[in-house]
Structure 1
Amino acid sequence: MSKFFNQKTNYKMRYICVLFLLMFGCSSTQQKRKLIGNWSSINSSNLINIEFFNDSLVIEQWGDTNSFKWYNDESNIYYSSLKVNTPDNKYDFVLINDTLLLRKNKNEIDFLKLVRINNAFDYFNKTLNLNLPVKSNLTPVLNEENAYILYALYDKNKVILKTSDNVFLSFDDLKRDINLHIANTELDDVSKINVMLFADERVSKADILKIKSIIKDINNMKVYQIFTNKDIDYKKIDWKQDIKWYGVLE
């Protein structure tokens, strides 16, 4: 009887172990499928782009791009050189829908936050949460390289002005900041300096008119308000390609 009981207990234990391994393996495989794709950090002080492929991993950070082999379990991503035999590096990770949180070790308090990137607009928009309005009959923006770029975002029922340098402005600060941009641009012909206005579709017409009025009061400066439509779909552009912007010139 004791022998039979021991055999039955051993069988149950083996069954539980196999079941656990199957469940763990399936979970890891599901996590791997969800990881595959492009990810980019939203922290401007630690910019990192990661591309997960089925059999390789590409990390771009601080201007360097390196490829690795990788695998994962439920809470860790392990990666090592494709060229030489080296010990595994490791990230602790948490995956929440289209947000990936990484840290090098469990002693770190803060995770590095990355978001899934599907196209060029996702990459541009990763820190903005911007919804561009739709409009027809758009023209390409001229002199983009000298443009003053302004974002009019909408958050908690109010308009937030932000520059391409991640500086937040009040309406009263806008004129001073544009003049500073003009002064720092080494152009003999300042008429080539335009403003590219990326205004969220939720920003009211009254606020947009107010912004444009401030801008035009500076040497009658021209404003390109950026729009999208079905023919000019920025989401069709690959995530590593530059975007050619279109808008309405005023």
Structure 2
Amino acid sequence: MKKTLLLFIFTTLFISCNKENEKSDFIGNWSSISDENFEFDIDIEFFKDSMVIDNPLIYGTYSNKWKVIDDKIEQTLLRGNSDLNYKNTNYYKFNSTKDTLFIKNERDSIHYFKFAKITNGFEYFENKIGLKIELDKVSNGLISAGNNDYNFNIYLTLKNNKVIAKTDYSNNLNNLAYQLLNFKSKIYEKGLDKIKYVLFIDKKVSNKKIDSIKSLFIKEIVEKTFIVKNYKENKWNEQINWLGIYEN
């Protein structure tokens, strides 16, 4: 009898520990990966017994209770949009390093949504643009780039030893004039003088390549150029305050 009781207690504890270990893989911040081509980012914060989902495209911000059962996440609505299902179940899986999470609704037979684990604001930024950028940081003599709404961002980095140059509008700098005019069309007239090129440059990109990229800039459309050299973070999924210098 004692052996049976001990075996029962041990088995119960073992199962409980396994479930806690499974849940620990989720704990933290996750954001939809850029290659999913979402119009808006979907962010998830997993806590021990609750999760907060920010889905601006459909339901806004809401929270659920959650638990792991086998390969499923069972969720029960705590707070949020009344149009949401009170109970919801998703299948999940991780990649081998458990820094990518795949989730699909139980009613979906095929498509998994892919999320990256995020630890800070700069990782969130990199995930959003789909690139890794190591800034050549400096600390002195820097000013803020100001309101990000006026920044026409250009990203320069190396990928597989090849220089990548892209914007928020295109994966290359082709048709740059069209991209700029499209960007300016969304800015109110009183803000047009605040528009600037904002360059995010990986420190491994050569000065020769940087100069060749700058030669493509159309000063008749956008006059000012700002080089990002550092930053100040807020919450992990909030806009970063970019710091740097203006070029003459």
Band of TM-score, shorter chain? 0.7 to 0.9
Of residues 73, 77, 99 in structure 2, which corresponds to 1:77?
Answer: 73
Does structure 1 conserve the Cα–Cα contact (< 8 Å) formed by 2:180 and 2:221?
no
What one-letter code is carried by the residue in structure 2 that aligns with 1:53? F
RMSD between aligned alpha carbons? 3.2
SS in 2 for 1:27: helix
Structure 1 residue 139 displacement after superposition: 1.5
C-alpha separation between the residues in 1 aligned to 2:183 and 2:88? 44
Q: Indicate the residue corresponding to 1:214 in structure 2.
A: 216
Partner in structure 2 of residue 3 of structure 1? none
Aligned-residue sequence identity (percent) comes to 29
Report the counterpart of residue 172 of structure 2 in structure 1. 169
Residue 66 of structure 1, aligned match among 46, 54, 62: 62
- Alpha-carbon offset, residue 26 of structure 1: 2.3
Structure 2 counterparts to residues 81-230 of structure 1, below 5 A: 81-82=77-78, 88-96=87-95, 97-105=98-106, 108-126=109-127, 127-136=130-139, 137-142=141-146, 144-165=148-169, 167-170=170-173, 172-182=174-184, 185-187=187-189, 190-215=192-217, 217-218=219-220, 221-228=223-230
User: Unaligned 5+ residue runs, structure 1?
Assistant: 1-6
Partner of 1:38: 29
Contact 1:148 1:196 in 2 (8 A): yes
The gaps in structure 2 that reach 5 residues or longer are none
The structure where helix makes up a greater share of residues is: 1
Name whichever structure is richer in strand by fraction: 2
Partners of 1:87 and 1:178 in 2: CA distance? 45
Q: 1:104 to 1:217 in 2, by over 3 A?
A: same
Q: Distance in 1 between matches of 2:148 and 2:107?
A: 44
Q: Given that residues 130 and 200 in structure 1 are in contact (C-alpha distance below 8 angstroms), is that contact kept between their aligned partners in structure 2?
A: yes
Normalising to structure 1: TM-score of the pair?
Answer: 0.77
Give 1:55's match in structure 2, choosing from 49, 57, 76: 49
Looking at structure 2, the residues matched to 87 and 190 of structure 1 have their Cα atoms a distance apart, in angstroms, of 46
Pair 24,218 (structure 1): closer, same or farther in 2 beyond 3 Å: farther
Structure 1 residue 224 displacement after superposition: 0.7
How many aligned residue pairs are there? 231
Instruction: Give the Cα separation in 2 of the matches to 1:161 and 1:173.
Output: 13
The whole-number CA distance in structure 1 between the counterparts of 2:121 and 2:77 is: 28
C-alpha deviations, 1:49-80, integer Å up to 9, x for none?
Answer: 11111221222222422222111134221111
Q: Distance in 2 between matches of 1:24 and 1:193?
A: 58
Question: What do the CA deviations read for 1:127-171 (whole angstroms, capped 9, x no partner)?
Answer: 332222212322111454222122223212212222223x2124x
